Amino acid sequence: MNMSHNWVEIGRVDEIPRQGARVITTATGDIAIFRTAADEVFALADKCPHKGGPLSQGIVHGRRVACPLHDWKINLETGIAAAPDEGCAARYPVRVADGMVSLSLIE
Amino acid sequence: MDMSLPAAAGSKMKLVMVGNGMAGMRTLEELLKAAPGMYDITVFGDEPHPNYNRIMLSPVLAGEQTVEQIVLNSRDWYAENGITLHTGKKVAKIDRRARCVETDSGTRAPYDRLLLATGSRPFVLPVPGARLPGVLGFRDIADVEAMIRASTESRHAVVIGGGLLGLEAANGLKLRGMDVSVVHIGAWLLERQLDEPAARLLQQSLEEKGLRFLLQKHTAELVQGESGRVCAVKFKDGETIPADLVVMAVGIRPNTELAESAGLHCNRGLVVNDTMQTFDPRIYAVGECVSHRGIAYGLVAPLFEQAKVCANHLAEHGVARYIGSMTSTRLKVSGIDLFSAGDFTGGEGTESLVYSDAAAGSYKKLVIKGNKLVGACIYGETLDGAWYFDLLREGTDISQLRKNILFGQSHLGDAGHGPAERVAALPDTAEICGCNGVCKGDIVSAIRDKKLFTLDEVRAHTKASASCGSCTGLVEALLAHTAGGDYSAAPSKKPLCGCTEHSHDEVRATIVEQKLKTMADTMRFLEWKTPDGCGKCRPALNYYLLCAWPTGYWDDAQSRYINERAHGNIQKDGSFSVVPRMWGGLTNPQELRAIADVAEKFKVPEMKVTGGQRIDLFGVKKEDLPAMWADLAAAGFVSGHAYGKAMRTVKTCVGSTWCRFGTQDSTGLGVKLEQLTWGSWMPHKFKLAVSGCPRNCAEATIKDFGVVCVDSGYELHVGGNGGIKVRVTDLLCKVETEAQVLEYCAAFTQLYREEAHYLERTAPWVERVGLAHVKAKVVDDAASRKALAERFLVSQKPAQVDPWKARAEGEARHEFTPIAAFV
């Protein structure tokens, strides 16, 4: 385990809707925390690299979310926009233990 | 065992491609995207060049571009992608048993999969002298270089064949300073693309450029001169004309010799199935050498579709099928615009609409069969070609468009695009796509840098023409100008999205027939390619299921767009706008006071009266929504559904209660219609209006369902739209009582709900299915009308629950509150 991580518990997996997201508010901007149909959990800055749309409000499908403003597809694992669009949303490390989701704010 | 994931690099499968042209290379590019590193790839090409854009040979001949400019994949590209490239080597033999190919110089390459993309070659007329020096085809860079050389050394050029290729060759040679005659066996030029009047106009303008035409001439012999080269063309009628250079452009033949020698089944092309496989399952084929369902394609767009399908199977994804393409044609001669598609000759059982202005060089012929467009042939103003091609492909009922269809799409009322200009002359800063703000320069550089060839590719990369589509003609013209792509081929069936091969109609019908009641069951039964769909199909499936099973389907919030999930309109800063329902646009001091109180309490920064006569509160924070709705619910308001693919508003004028012209109680009827239809989910937004007299102050004739009151009753209008493409309604019928208005409205609404594609407004739906169909179901057949209206009422029962009140009381609380907060 990487000791530089600063893990913070943020809530239980079942508080995030499957194929959906919740928001974590922070002093430096919102973070979106996603749960896929396969119960994987990912976290990205809640800001589309295109025009800043709130990714947490998009439709989650596979390991992607479609931005609600202009339908860019953002990869949840990498934060990278699907081609032909180009851009990247910041990622945050996430881990799940016993149904509890933790997030590291240092990346 | 999984062959697609070999354990070590050394055990990678070997893919050999014979032919280094556009279709084959496109397949490799798609394959590298779909399954990078899956194969060791070897490519054999008999030309000495890497892959280049063959379509652009005409501009190279004409001196408008250079050979370097048309190279698509540089040698570096092959190296970077680990592809072994053999240029200038002809594959002479395929040993299917040993799974290995061999060139005429003895190079051997073993394969696990073989891809044949051997293309085609010019057909050579079987006349004496056809093989003389100075007789060329027009197929590759060597031909073009030979023509350019000849143009500097000699004078007389004869092009045999007045088809697309022949005319492009003739135009290029003329620009190179030669004296050019075009010999054609037919009665007019381009008889496969144009009818006679259009061809005459074309001939006239080519003659003005200095070309000479000899029509209905049969070539008898190419005469050898003293130098040993060709010196003249002799015709069957005895006439002889001088010729230092002869270009044969009478057609192409697929190169199938190699395939035939290996025992692969060929019939006017190498025969492949829908997965681009030949009769040997290890051997695939794409491009001009292929015969698919009896058709050999020669245009780029269908070949690229084949490439995509073939790559999908080489990557062992195994989900794509090629089911053929419809194609249209344009000519790449600067300053000459022609377009044709489908059956433009007409004949028995068809009608023709013709517009002809010879002085202006403009001609249009549309062929119609049974209210549908089956062919188009245009010379001059061709920007509407794309629109006609769409109408043709979709089988749109054009009976309502007949009067204006010849004048093009802009005459049907597009907003904000103005008259189409010649795109070539526009500056780079000229806006082409008003919806997405894309300029000419953006599109041209994307086409160049990203090597785009089709309209769909330009849409994906630039978003131009991806919204309302009214600039499609301009974008296509830019494509033609920049890449020379014959962009407007399209699959003959449109799947719902990339997750399935089924169309909207097939999906809807299957849900009902198979009694599929959940999204997971539907995806499973229809063999969806993705595990949980995408942002396009999930909202559509959710609606289709909801419409099919109004009382037995559990709405899936995660498959709804955010506006419908949060019951507000998301704005560009992530805040929401809130529109309370005001029945029929009526209000009173108490309601206005309640709205004012809410606005102050939640510090609403801006308020506005909407186009649908409601009050919009802007800039509400998402987390404030439930509390605001609680206050609004307490004052008697319900959601205005201003955010949904749903019934929006009923706009009314004041009517007979106050207005001196009013003939009926339009506001009262508006309130009743709104009470009937509110809460209903639809394929798209749905707007109503009631005007109290034919002065039509409520603008009922640009609504999805509009009522215009008259002295003797009510006119019912349907299929109107006030958006990007303004469409005036069609008159459905006239009825006498308010009760009839309500029943017809319910029936029409339900028919739209049951038949339209998701995200299709009533206007394009009515155009697609035809007003006659709507009348048959809603007006002519009383039993059908009653059944539709009844089904609508059943679906309304669970739908008319105020979503705001429910959320104010705690439903879907997670939607509105952060899971955690850090300061």
Distance between CA atoms of B59 and B169, rounded to whole angstroms? 9
Q: What is B450-496 written as a DSSP string? A: HT--SHHHHHHHH-TTSSS-TTHHHHHHHHHHHT---TT-EESS--S
Q: Within a domain: residue A28?
A: yes
Compute φ and ψ for B463, nearest 5 degrees: 70, -5
Task: Please name the helix (run of DSSP H) or strand (run of DSSP E) that holds residue B386, with its range, or none.
Answer: helix B385-394
When pLDDT is cut at 50, 70 and 90, the band that residue B421 belongs to is very low
Interface residue B449 vs chain A (CB under 8 A): no
Chain segment B243-288, per-residue pLDDT in tens: 999 999 998 899 999 999 999 999 999 999 999 999 999 999 999 9
pLDDT of residue B58: 86
Interface residue B816 vs chain A (CB under 8 A): no
Q: Within a domain: residue A2?
A: no
Distance between CA atoms of A31 and A34, rounded to whole angstroms? 10
Chain segment B592-622, per-residue pLDDT in tens: 999 999 999 999 999 999 999 999 999 999 8
Q: Which CATH number belongs to the domain containing residue A12 in this structure?
A: 2.102.10.10
Distance between CA atoms of B159 and B478, rounded to whole angstroms? 29
Q: List the one residue out of B330, B448, B421 whose CA is nearest residue B58.
A: B330
Q: Do B819 and A33 touch (CB under 8 A)?
A: yes
Q: How many domains does chain A have?
A: 1
Q: Within a domain: residue A100?
A: yes
Q: Within a domain: residue A36?
A: yes
Beta carbons of B186 and B199 less than 8 angstroms apart:
no
Q: Which pTM was predicted?
A: 0.69
Beta carbons of B321 and B315 less than 8 angstroms apart:
no
Task: Please state which of the ranges B125-129, B132-136, B456-460, B667-671 shows the lowest mean pLDDT.
Answer: B456-460
Q: List the one residue out of B284, B286, B316, B280 whose CA is nearest residue B97.
A: B280
Chain segment B533-585, per-residue pLDDT in tens: 999 999 999 999 999 999 988 899 999 999 999 899 888 888 899 999 999 99
Interface residue B450 vs chain A (CB under 8 A): yes
Sequence letter at residue B150: A
Q: Do A58 and B820 touch (CB under 8 A)?
A: no
| A residues 23-52 closer than 8 Å to B (CB) | 23-27, 30, 33, 36-38, 51-52
Chain segment B506-525, per-residue pLDDT in tens: 999 999 999 999 999 999 99
When pLDDT is cut at 50, 70 and 90, the band that residue B293 belongs to is very high
> Two tokens at A10?
């943020």
Q: Do B450 and A84 touch (CB under 8 A)?
A: yes
When pLDDT is cut at 50, 70 and 90, the band that residue B420 belongs to is very low
Can you give the residue range of the structural domain that contains A59?
7-104
Chain segment B59-81, per-residue pLDDT in tens: 899 888 888 888 888 999 999 99
Interface residue B566 vs chain A (CB under 8 A): yes
Distance between CA atoms of B6 and B111, rounded to whole angstroms? 15
When pLDDT is cut at 50, 70 and 90, the band that residue B335 belongs to is low
> Two tokens at B216?
């209905």
Q: Averaged over B137-154, what is the pLDDT? A: 93
Q: Is the ipTM of this complex over 0.95?
A: no
Compute φ and ψ for B611, nearest 5 degrees: -65, -20
Cβ atoms within 10 Å, residue B494: 12
Q: Within a domain: residue A1?
A: no
Sequence letter at residue B484: G
Angle between helices B738-755 and B782-799 in degrees, nearest 10: 80
Task: Give the nearest chain A residue to B457 (CA atoms).
Answer: A84
Cβ atoms within 10 Å, residue B573: 10
Chain segment B786-820, per-residue pLDDT in tens: 999 999 999 999 999 999 999 999 888 888 888 98
Interface residue B530 vs chain A (CB under 8 A): yes
pLDDT of residue B6: 41
Q: List the one residue out of B61, B332, B62 whose CA is nearest residue B193.
A: B332
Distance between CA atoms of B629 and B681, rounded to whole angstroms? 20
